[in-house]
Amino acid sequence: MSLYIVATPIGNLEDITLRAIRTLKEVDLILCEDTRVTKKLLNHYEIVDKKLATFNDQKSGLSTDRVIELLEEGKEIALVTDAGTPAISDPGSLLVKTIRQETSGIKVIPIPGASALTTAFSGSGILGGEFVFLGFLPHKKGRETLFKEIGSSERVYVFYESPHRILKTLESLKKFAPKRKVTIARELTKIFEEFVSGSAEELLQILEEDKNKQRGEFVVMVFDDYNDREKLTKEETDKYDK
């Protein structure tokens, strides 16, 4: 009895591992954020006659307790989300925590693959490799406090943002982090994939002038521009010269 945490493509359907495909073929049940989205992926890889069930944060579909009951009955279950790696700013983290803390004998097996977080960071050109990941920012409580922290820190911050909130986010970064550099990545792995960098004010102007650039899910990265090699220590310079 195992729960497989299966990463699925974030856009391009070819971005899935052979192990993930095999796992989806072999399990008894696939837990989906939206069964309609998952069916498109399964159809693409000719995975047919597979039992699906909804499992998401809206409390529709199966409950955590029911999933655990099925696992304890001996079912092999895969957890997927609409895109990317489950339990990272996506449904599933509570289920994994409950299984690990409150059950015995049930294995939790992650099947790694696509993630918007690592995809965006790897293509950003930000040096160092260290960052603070914030997931999706809160809509109200604590939001301004986070932007103040981002503006006063020298650390790299990465977070997700939706198309209907990206302009408000850039407004806040313009206010609280005007001197920091921002890179936004959108439509990752899709036809209109795009990385745009500049100050928050510059990016705000770019997106306001072209509403097409407001479409898609965003990964936002805020940092100080250490591409200026004079700001790197000798140790860091040597590392990047290798």
DSSP letter for each residue of 20-64: HHHHHHH-SEEEES-HHHHHHHHHHTT--S--EEEB-TTS-B--H
Q: Where in the chain is the domain with CATH 3.40.1010.10?
A: 2-114
Q: Where in the chain is the domain with CATH 3.30.950.10?
A: 117-229
- Vertex 33, ends 29 and 38: CA angle to 5°? 65
Lowest-pLDDT range, 15-29, 80-94, 224-238? 224-238
Give the chain's mean pLDDT. Answer: 91
Give the residue-averaged pLDDT of 182-198: 96
Task: Report which of 172, 161, 169, 165 is spatially closest to residue 136, judged by C-alpha positions.
Answer: 161
pLDDT bin (cut points 50, 70, 90) of residue 229 is very low
- Which CATH number does the domain 2-114 belong to among 3.40.1010.10, 3.10.520.10, 3.30.70.270, 3.30.70.100? 3.40.1010.10
Give residue 13's pLDDT.
95
CATH class label, 117-229: alpha beta
Tens-digit pLDDT profile for residues 191-208: 999 999 999 999 999 999
Give the residue-averaged pLDDT of 168-173: 97
